[in-house]
């Protein structure tokens, strides 16, 4: 392995261990510091700014519960949440390791250690930190920009409900079209909850294969199946004490729904290949774009599971139903993409803002995000202009306007053009831009439909 650029801070009160690591680690990592006591930890975090901390679990010879290590782990994550922590313990207690990982530890190493495994684990922790840093901008640019509530009555009503239910442990079901920000709302509920200091674990159930369903949610033990080389902690256990967010819950096959229901009813999980029930303390939030009530009627979703996950129901309206949020969201995306693509753009020209507010946004916030990203890339000035905005062609606009199936395509097109003319007060440039057609084409269609 090539020498890593990582900065490693070792905290261990055993002088022999520090001496051994002082010889080993500098061979593999750019900078290494070793301190004998966690009392120096806070100052060294600030001055040395490590990427990874190798943290001993016990600092008194007569105490071996690991509580000291858990305390200092929490302190590190509280002060420097981006620093990865690898726990260092002589006591191979899986429950202690599980608790440490629930509190944010990357992994643990048991003493006496194997040099290759120790170096590999520290390097993996560093790579994890680097990966998170690389994705930080992407996350900020993505849909999860934080809740933008707007001033509309529908979102105001949701906000009032969230303020009431967030501090409780009530199970929440969030519904809405794709791209409406269901994951953002789930994060907001967690942020406002009594569990905000603990982890929110998110699971995209739509991406889980049936063969991995139980292993990913409930975990497995070593030897449970061919590739189970080590114990694996499932998402339920990872979320213990925090929030479990199950996205695309409507995609669970019917024959697996009973397994999820059992875990939710008993608040216990049993790892694949084991018989021991493990208690879990979670706050459950689910989301789906499907009509679960219809699925229950059609026999595609268990009624008892539906009521189990639907204590409180929040429905996010489509973006076209909350137009007051379109421009604020667009401005957030402009700020983030301007940084990413090193553009000078600082805002929206009034005509461009009007175009955005008048569009249907069938793809909701994700479509708006994609539109703004392209516009920022194409921009040449400090403001996004109409010519920078690329929207779907007119045949998509008619379908998105809810007119498909109402008469002929010509009739739907005429309705779309009349609606755009009304929306933009007869401004032909803005009408043409909103329909993604040229002005000459618009003139031709106005004549054709006698508008």
Residues 38 and 118 in one domain: yes
Residues 292 and 439 in one domain: no
| pLDDT tens sequence across 283-339 | 999 999 999 999 999 999 999 999 999 999 999 999 988 888 899 889 989 988 888
Residues 194 and 304 in one domain: yes
State the average pLDDT for the chain. 85
Residues 58 and 112 in one domain: yes
CATH code of the domain containing 121 = 3.40.50.2300
Range with lowest mean pLDDT among 100-109, 144-153, 233-242: 144-153
Range(s) of the domain holding residue 346 = 320-448
Domain count of the fold of the chain: 3
Supply the pLDDT for residue 301: 97
User: Is the pTM for the entire model greater than 0.85?
Assistant: no
| pLDDT tens sequence across 142-174 | 344 567 776 778 888 999 999 999 999 999 999
Supply the pLDDT for residue 127: 87
Q: How far apart are CA 247 and CA 244, in angstroms?
A: 10
| pLDDT tens sequence across 107-117 | 888 888 999 99
Residues 236 and 121 in one domain: no
Residue 447 pLDDT exceeds 90: no
Residues 80 and 193 in one domain: no
- Given phi > 0 = left and psi -120 to 50 = alpha, else beta, which region is 436? left
CATH code of the domain containing 262 = 3.40.50.300
Order across the sheet with 172-175: list the strands: 200-204, 243-247, 283-288, 172-175, 312-315
Which of these three, 298, 317, 336, is where a domain ends?
317
Supply the pLDDT for residue 177: 94
Residues 326 and 313 in one domain: no
Residues 327 and 309 in one domain: no
The average pLDDT across 374-402 equals 72
Residues 370 and 297 in one domain: no
Of residues 359 and 99, more confidence is placed in 359
In eight-state DSSP terms, residue 39 is: G
CATH code of the domain containing 374 = 1.10.8.60
Residues 16 and 113 in one domain: yes
56 domain-assigned? yes
CA trace torsion 282, 287, 293, 299 (10° rounding): -80
Supply the pLDDT for residue 211: 84
């Amino acid at each position: 392995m090539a020498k890593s650029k990582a900065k490693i801070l070792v905290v261990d009160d055993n002088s022999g261990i520090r001496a051994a690591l002082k010889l080993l680690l500098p061979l593999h990592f750019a900078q290494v510091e070793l301190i004998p006591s966690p009392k120096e930890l806070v100052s060294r975090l600030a001055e040395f700014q490590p990427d990874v901390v190798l943290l001993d679990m016990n600092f008194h010879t007569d105490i071996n519960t690991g509580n000291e290590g858990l305390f200092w782990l929490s302190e590190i994550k509280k002060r420097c949440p981006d620093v990865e922590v690898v726990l260092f313990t002589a006591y191979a207690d899986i429950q202690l390791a599980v608790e440490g990982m629930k509190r944010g530890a990357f992994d643990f190493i048991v003493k006496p250690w194997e040099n290759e495994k120790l170096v590999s684990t520290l390097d993996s922790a560093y790579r994890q930190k680097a990966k998170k840093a690389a994705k930080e901008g992407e996350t900020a640019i993505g849909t999860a920009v934080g809740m933008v509530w707007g001033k509309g009555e529908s979102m105001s009503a949701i906000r009032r409900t969230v303020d009431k239910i967030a501090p409780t442990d009530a199970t929440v079901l969030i519904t809405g079209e794709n791209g409406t920000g269901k994951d953002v709302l789930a994060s907001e509920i967690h942020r406002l909850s009594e569990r905000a200091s603990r982890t929110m674990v998110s699971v995209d159930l739509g991406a889980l294969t049936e063969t991995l369903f139980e292993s990913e949610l409930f975990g497995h033990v070593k030897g449970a199946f061919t590739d189970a080389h080590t114990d694996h902690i499932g998402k339920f256990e990872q979320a213990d004490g925090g929030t479990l967010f199950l996205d695309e819950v409507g995609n669970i096959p019917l024959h697996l729904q009973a397994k999820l229901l059992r875990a939710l009813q008993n608040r216990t999980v049993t790892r694949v290949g084991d018989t021991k029930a493990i208690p879990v303390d979670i706050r459950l939030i689910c989301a789906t774009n499907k009509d679960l009530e219809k699925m229950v009627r059609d026999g595609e979703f268990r009624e008892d599971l539906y009521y189990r996950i639907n204590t409180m129901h929040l429905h996010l309206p489509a973006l076209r139903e909350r137009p007051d949020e379109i421009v604020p969201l667009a401005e957030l995306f402009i700020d983030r993409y301007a940084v990413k693509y090193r553009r000078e753009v600082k805002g929206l020209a009034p005509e461009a803002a009007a175009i955005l507010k008048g569009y249907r946004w069938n793809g909701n916030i994700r479509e708006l995000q994609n539109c703004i990203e392209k516009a920022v890339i194409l921009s040449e000035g400090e403001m996004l202009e109409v010519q920078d905005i690329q929207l779907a062609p007119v045949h998509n606009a008619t379908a998105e306007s809810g007119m498909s199936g109402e008469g002929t395509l010509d009739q739907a097109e005429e309705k779309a053009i009349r609606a755009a003319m009304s929306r933009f007060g007869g401004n032909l440039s803005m009408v043409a831009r909103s329909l993604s057609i040229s002005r000459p084409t618009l003139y031709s269609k106005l004549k054709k439909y006698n508008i």
